[in-house]
Amino acid sequence: MKINRIDHVSINVNDLSAAKAFFLDLGLEVKAEWELEGEQLDRIVGLNNVKTACVGMGMPGGQAWIELVKFYSPPSEDISRPSANTLGIQHICFAVEDIEAIIERLKKKGTEIFSEIQQYEESYKLCYVRGPEGIILELAEKIG
């Protein structure tokens, strides 16, 4: 038995189009879009009367993707906005090129930037940003 790779990370959102636009702006592309409902989905996710819309997004040529999911039913519970030190999965890190240009573009669009770009030793330039629905991303540019 072995794990071959990460297939996808699922992010539940209320505003599917805003989340999709955010990740498109970062350079991801739409791999698939679909809607699901029915008894089989209910059994898979352990809820009743499930109806969802989903957008699968990934890097060009990449295997793993992000699955943005809007639950139309049942209604989701709103939680307070997590921060980087909240228990559980809190952010996704993207390896990027030209972090300065990306951060500048995100600032112009009104994206919340946690801090200015920081250099970690002689290995990375790093910055955290918050997208729609409180989604936290770490952007990391390898130096050298």
Alpha helices (runs of H) in 39-109, residue ranges in sequence order: 39-45, 99-108
Q: Which tens digits make up the pLDDT trace of 26-35?
A: 999 999 999 9
- pLDDT, residue 32, reads 95
Fold classification of 91-142 (topology level): 2,3-Dihydroxybiphenyl 1,2-Dioxygenase; domain 1 (3.10.180)
The pLDDT tens digits for 34-91 are 999 999 888 888 888 999 999 999 998 888 899 999 999 987 766 666 655 565 677 8
Residue with tokens 């109806």: 51
CATH number listed for the domain at residues 8-73: 3.10.180.10
Measure Cα distances from 81 to 9, 133, 134 in Å.
19, 8, 6
Distance CA 70, CA 63 (A): 22
Matching fold, domains 8-73 and 91-142: yes
Strands 136-142, 91-95: pairing is parallel
DSSP letter assigned to residue 18: H
Please state, in angstroms and rounded to a whole number, the distance separating the CA atoms of residues 85 and 42.
Answer: 32
Instruction: Give pLDDT, residue 85.
Output: 58
CA pair distance 98, 90, nearest whole angstrom? 24
Q: Is the pLDDT of residue 2 over 90?
A: no
What residues does each domain of the chain span?
Answer: 8-73, 91-142
